[in-house]
Amino acid sequence: MNTNSAGAPLNLVLASPRGFCAGVDRAITIVEKALEMYGAPIYVQHEIVHNKHVVQRLRNEGAVFVENIDEI
């Protein structure tokens, strides 16, 4: 059990439901649909979510994340 600096037990409260915000969900869906419709590669400006597992999954499916359009 974890305690605070005074030795009192810490309570952990988890929000429910948890997950991505609507904008992130929508961005992921758009990339997935573009991959379905047009096939790989699909170029995406910036990583669309701060989650390395989701970004890697999209890369594995054919998304290519770039910082600048000049990289394409």
Sketch the domain layout of the chain as residue ranges: 22-71
The half-sphere exposure of 26 on its side-chain side, counting CA atoms within 13 A, is 3
Q: Which residue has the tokens 């890697």?
A: 56
pTM of the model: 0.75
pLDDT at position 12, please? Answer: 83
53-62 mean pLDDT = 98
Q: Of 71, 24, 69, which Cα lies nearest the Cα of 51?
A: 24
Could you read off the pLDDT of 7-53 as tens digits, one per residue?
A: 778 888 888 888 888 999 999 999 999 999 999 999 999 999 999 99
Higher-pLDDT residue of 16, 4: 16
> How far apart are alpha carbons 28 and 49 in whole angstroms?
8
What's the helix, strand, coil split of the chain in %, to 5? Answer: 40, 15, 45
pLDDT at position 72, please? Answer: 92
CATH number at 22-71: 3.40.50.11270
